[in-house]
Amino acid sequence: MTNLTRGVLVLTLFFGFLNIFLALGHEENSEHKYTVYHKFPHHTEYSKRGEILLTTSRATAKYIGNEPELSIEDLDHDYNSRKSKLYLVKIVDNENPNHVTKSFTYLCLLKSSNLEDEIIIHLDKNNRIFQFDYYTSSDQCNKTIVPQSREFKTTVQTIKAIDGVVWYFIPIAILLLTGGAAEEPQQGGQQQQQRGGQAARPARQ
């Protein structure tokens, strides 16, 4: 690859990055609402629990609870079967009610957490939710615990898909700036491989 060709490709990548960041910076400070529903084992239908207000320009979100205080029956009900021990959560897009994402946990984990939980929402390139993870603050069940609180204490975290796209091109730019791939090690030499990664969060079971 000639220096001229390499320079053209580097400039192309540079202006591509610039356009991405300018687009993000000039995006309107719009807000998008999602409704959170939940279902206890002894319930026959989902009920409204609260809302998630997503600020699309900053890809940040907050939880707004508007569910009445939980009843004693909700938390102290005697659940017998294994299937009846699940606490179900779903998020519905207010503008597109057919777009529904679901998750669940064991009710004993929610009770052991004193109703402290976290919703981690994954956003697509348009800053819309395409899936979410639901966690409680405790990962161990203690069936003897009766929650002192009757209201949820919920935090929301967002993860943007665009971050992966931007970082994908950075190694390409580095290779172009450094003149391509490194030379192969000589025969008899030792070749080392570095592998990185992020530890997965423990399953809430």
Per-residue pLDDT reduced to its tens digit, 159-190:
987 544 456 555 555 555 565 544 444 554 44
Residue 68 pLDDT class (50, 70, 90 cuts) = confident
Say whether both 128 and 170 belong to one domain.
no
Same domain membership, residue 171 and residue 99: no
Q: What is the mean pLDDT of the chain?
A: 75
Residue 181's pLDDT is what? 47
pLDDT value for 122: 94
- At residue 8, the pLDDT reads 55
pTM for the model: 0.65
Q: Verify that 139 and 101 share a domain, yes or no.
A: yes
For 124-165, write each residue's pLDDT tens digit: 888 889 999 999 999 988 877 778 888 999 999 999 875 444
Residue 198's pLDDT is: 31
Whether 20 and 96 share a structural domain: no
Are residues 101 and 133 located together in one domain of the fold? Answer: yes
In angstroms, rounded to a whole number, what is the distance separating the alpha carbons of residues 116 and 98?
28
Amino acid 189: pLDDT: 42
CA distance 127 to 172: 26
Residues 149, 96 share a domain: yes
Residues 44 and 100 in one domain: yes
44 lies in some domain: yes
Does residue 92 register a pLDDT over 90?
A: yes
- Its domain, for residue 150, covers 31-163
Q: Is the same domain home to 20 and 85? A: no
Out of 13-17, 26-30, 55-59, 81-85, the most confident range is 55-59
Amino acid letter, residue 200: A
Average pLDDT estimate for 108-118: 92
Domain for residue 192, yes or no? no
**pLDDT tens column, 23-56:** 554 445 688 999 999 999 888 999 999 999 999 8
Tell me the Ramachandran region of residue 171: left when phi exceeds 0, alpha when psi lies from -120 to 50, beta otherwise: alpha
CB hemisphere CA count around 152 (13 angstroms): 24
Q: Quick one: which H or E segment has residue 13?
A: helix 3-25
Provide the number of structural domains found in the chain: 2
45 part of a folded domain: yes
Domain membership flag for residue 204:
no
**Where do we find the tokens 């069936």?**
143
Residue 69 resides in a domain: yes
Q: Of 21, 52, 54, 50, which is closest to residue 38 (Cα–Cα)? A: 50
Residue 118 lies in a domain: yes
Residue 95 lies in a domain: yes
Question: Residue 128 domain-assigned?
Answer: yes
Tally of CB atoms within 10 A around 61: 22
The answer to whether residues 69 and 82 belong to one domain is: yes
- Confidence class of residue 103 from pLDDT cuts 50, 70 and 90? very high
Tell me the torsion sign for CA atoms 42, 150, 108, 132: positive
Shared-domain flag, residues 125 and 154: yes
Do 147 and 102 share a structural domain? Answer: yes
CA-to-CA distance for 139 and 88, rounded, in angstroms? 17
Clarify whether residues 15 and 86 are in a common domain.
Answer: no
